[in-house]
Homo-oligomer: A and B are copies of this chain.
Amino acid sequence: MNYAKLGRSALEQEQEKCESEYEALKAQGLKLDMSRGKPGKEQLDLISGILSILTEAADCAADGMDTRNYGGLAGLPSARALFADILGCRPEECFVGGNSSLDLMYNTISKAYTHGLLHSEKPWCRLDKVKFLCPAPGYDRHFRVTESFGAELITVDMTPTGPDMDQVEDLVKDPAVKGIWCVPKYSNPDGIIYSDETIRRFARLKPAAEDFVIMWDNAYCVHEFDGDFVPFPDILSLCREAGRPDMVFEFASTSKITFPGGGISVMAASEANLKYMQKLFGVQTIGYDKVNQLRHVLYLKDKANTLALMKKHAAIMKPKYRMVLDMLEREIAPLGIAEWQKPKGGYFISVNTMDGIAKRTLELCREAGVTMTPAGATFPYGIDPRDRNIRVAPSLPPVQELQQAMEIFCVSMRLAALEKLLAG
């Protein structure tokens, strides 16, 4: 029953049916939050071992340091080695921070504004205009960081192989274009893995701005929920080999490996970049929480052990994604009113509805008790020009609740589509 092929009366009939389904679901009085990529309780319970991995004073000595005391700005050496193992870069390229990689990203951009990056002629706050590339749909928090500093956000289209590199290569000819946000593996929200060709083209970029920065947020570097770990090239090596080693800052964290609120984060960059940034970070802090860094080193051990843990997360995550995808396939696919990617990792399912009904769909969801990421959030300035992208975040609710939420989501989308078709 493709809606586009239905006549007016058939649409009206379908609308009536939908409305009564919607009212029945609404009457359940649900209150579900699917707005963010939060791990569920069952995932957090997996990690309880990390709570008691350090219990005595003597446990806190590592790498010739007392982790409890001041010092170690770049992080505990063994934590730097752990992230290097996971990301495929070198320990001396890793700066290990606190519980938030977003904080490291914000600090990088903030310092670019107040002090400039390694190759900046002057701080960005002294420039008339700073432009930043935002592949969209993308991560709203990325866009907001650069927006908050007054940068002009320029949308770059996403393709099934990553950002449209023809656009990127063209845009970086403008010296006011200072950087680009990337989630290269299981992109937020599309779940796309950038192709080798895309990644190579990134490393070979020749931006007009000497201080152009690729903000490479490898948030989902080991976050397969379906199938085995997918190897991924080290962007630092590629940029080094292409002769522009200082063009990229890579970020990652254990937020979705251990505890979202109590993990550790990393900023990986060339040694020249880290040397420069450490001079600036050294004014800001004496060092991040090395005790918690040590907990993570002892608990995660290395990449192999981390991947084994990610398999346990996957066993919890996969049924949730499967359920969302199955329901979309069954309830929505035949109607021809939306399309979506089928990711094997990351935290989201990105749904593109027919144009002009994303906002209305989520309004109907909210009225029936299901909160989702606001429509538009995945685009610069929160404005989706086609009003069609919806980010579904299935990780938090238990499967049973997720099913109820998805029933509401599907009927809301049908209703929104019918309203639109009948009005058009």
Contacts and interface: CB of A to CB of B under 8 A. Distances in A.
Interface of A: 36, 38-39, 41, 44-45, 47-48, 51-52, 54-57, 59-60, 66-72, 98-100, 102-103, 106-107, 110, 113-115, 123, 125, 141, 144-145, 148-149, 255, 259-262, 280, 283-292
30 contacts: A36-B70, A44-B60, A45-B57, A48-B57, A51-B57, A67-B262, A68-B261, A69-B259, A70-B261, A71-B261, A72-B261, A98-B98, A98-B99, A100-B285, A100-B286, A102-B284, A102-B286, A103-B284, A103-B285, A106-B284, A106-B285, A110-B110, A110-B114, A113-B114, A123-B125, A145-B283, A145-B284, A148-B280, A148-B283, A262-B290
A33 to B, nearest CB: 11
A107 B52 CA distance: 32
Instruction: Report the 6 A-B pairs with minimum CB-CB distance, sorted nearest first.
Output: A262-B291, A106-B284, A68-B259, A52-B55, A100-B285, A99-B289
A47 to B, nearest CB: 8
Contacts of A144: 283
A56 B47 CA distance: 10
Nearest to A106: B284
A107 B114 CA distance: 12
A59 to B, nearest CB: 7
Given A51-B55, A51-B57, A110-B284, 6 more contacts: A41-B66, A44-B68, A45-B57, A51-B60, A70-B260, A100-B288
B125 A114 contact: yes
Nearest to A52: B55
Contacts of A60: 44, 51
Contacts of A103: 284-285
Contacts of A41: 66
Nearest to A258: B68
B262 A68 contact: yes
Contacts of A284: 100, 102-103, 106-107, 110, 145
B44 A51 contact: no
Contacts of A70: 36, 38, 255, 260-261
A11 to B, nearest CB: 41
A90 to B, nearest CB: 24
A288 B98 contact: yes
Given A110-B114, A114-B110, A283-B106, A44 B57 contact: yes
A145 to B, nearest CB: 6
A134 B171 CA distance: 46
A112 B104 CA distance: 19
Given A260-B68, A291-B262, A51 B59 contact: yes
A44 B66 contact: yes
A284 B106 CA distance: 5
B289 A261 contact: yes
A380 to B, nearest CB: 14
A51 B67 CA distance: 12
A414 B2 CA distance: 95
A21 B48 CA distance: 58
A114 B114 CA distance: 7
Contact of A292 (B67, B290, B292): B292
Nearest to A111: B110
A68 B43 CA distance: 11
Contacts of A71: 261
A282 to B, nearest CB: 9
Contacts of A36: 70
Contacts of A262: 67-68, 289-292
A296 to B, nearest CB: 12
A45 to B, nearest CB: 5
B54 A51 contact: yes
Among A52, A59, A261, max chain B CB count under 10 A is at A261
